[in-house]
Each structure stands twice: as structure tokens, then as C-alpha cells.
Amino acid sequence: MLSDDTDPASGAAPRRWLKDAEHIDAALYTAIASTPTPSLDRAMRTISRAADHSKVSMAAAAALALTGRRAGRRAAAYGLVSVATTSTLVNVAVKPLSRRRRPDRAAERVEVARHVRMPISTSFPSGHSAAAFAFATGVGHVMPRAAVPLRALAALVAYSRVHTGVHYPGDAVVGSLIGTAVAQIASHELDQRRAR
């Protein structure tokens, strides 16, 4: 006789796996929240706020368009289309289906010095992380070298959302993966349109 762990019809194993993943995610959040990092707190708060409404990406797009000539303008366009597509998908289709509540910063004793405004949307996935990685991936499709610092910045944005207490690490990881995947699809579509 098969146990629940090996019986595919039971559905118990996937549920247990998901529960374990949630426990690890919560434990990582708690570990980050309880680790004193006064020298990082202000920087992470600043980065998190700068990523609101993709302001960092728009500033980078403007810099690329002004200094990167034709390739820079195309890279900026690919990046911004990727952000718009990703943000729409995450905010209109994915977040409304999620029931995950935002972390309880008070219960986890996240330092007030880290706090940014707590969004009212559901926690999963991180829209900031998705948008930041979408922009970096879209730009990288046209200008791979420019994508290196942008991906590093995207990673900082994703981490900043956990550091400031508004997301669990899993929210940021999945958001980053969604942004990367959507940007790859969007960039491919833009290439197809250019080829016509």
C-alpha cells in the first residue's frame, strides 16, 4: 500500500511540500528581520522607495536613450515594454488570485528604521521585483553588457522589499522569475514585429 507521500492521487505530498516551503520562507523572513543591520537599513529603504512605480527603471531608460544612441533607445524601449507587460500581468492577473497576506512587521519586530509604506495588495508575488528584473532582461536582450549592472540593481530591489519587511523572500524570488520570463517573451515579440 502506498503512503500519502507516494500516492499521486492523494495530493497530500504536494500540500506538505508547499507547507514546508512556506515555513522556510517565513523562517528566512524572521532571520532577516531579527538581524541588526543599521548600516544597510537606510540604503535598503531608499532603494525600495526609488523602485516605487518603476522610477529607477524609468530613470535608467532615460539615461540609455540619451547616451546609448540607436541601440540605447531600442534597449530602453524593450525594457519599458517589458516592465509594462509584467506589471499588468502581476497586478491584474496574478496578485488578485493570491491570498497571501503581507508579513506582520510588528510581530516580527522589523526595525522602524527599515519601514517603507506597506502596500494594500496581497504579498505574492513582489511586483517591484518582477518589474525590476523585467526591465533588466528587456534591456539585456538588446544590450547584454548594460544588463549586468541592471540585474545587480534588480537583485537589490528584490532584497530591499524583504529587508524593509513588506515581502517574504519567496515573493521576491517568484516575482523576479516572473519578470524575467515575461520580459523574454515580450522581447521576442518585439523582435518579431521589427522583422515584419
Tens digits of per-residue pLDDT, 65-106?
A: 998 789 999 999 999 999 999 999 999 999 999 889 999 999
User: For 99, phi and psi rounded to 5 degrees?
Assistant: -110, 5
Q: Are 141 and 189 in contact (CB under 8 A)?
A: no
DSSP letter, residue 108: H
Model's pTM, two decimal places?
0.89
- Dihedral sign computed on CA atoms, order 69, 74, 77, 79: negative
How confident is the model at residue 11, as a pLDDT?
Answer: 66
* 38 contact partners, CB below 8 Å, separation of at least 6: 113
Nearest to 181 by CA among 129, 119, 124: 129
pLDDT number for residue 4: 46
- The residues of the chain scoring below 50 in pLDDT are 1-5
The pLDDT value recorded for residue 2 is 42
According to DSSP, residue 112 is labeled G
The rounded distance, in Å, linking the Cα atoms of 94 and 122 is: 10
Are 57 and 132 in contact by the 8 Å Cβ rule? The answer is yes
Give Rg (Cα) of the chain. Answer: 19
Say how many residues make up the chain. 196
Q: Cis omega before residue 125 (within 30°)? A: yes
For the chain, domains (ranges, CATH) are: 12-195 (1.20.144.10)
Q: Report how far Cα 17 is from the mean position of its chain's Cα atoms.
A: 23
Residue type at 146 in one-letter notation = A
Q: What percent of the chain has pLDDT over 90?
A: 85
Question: What's residue 113's pLDDT?
Answer: 92
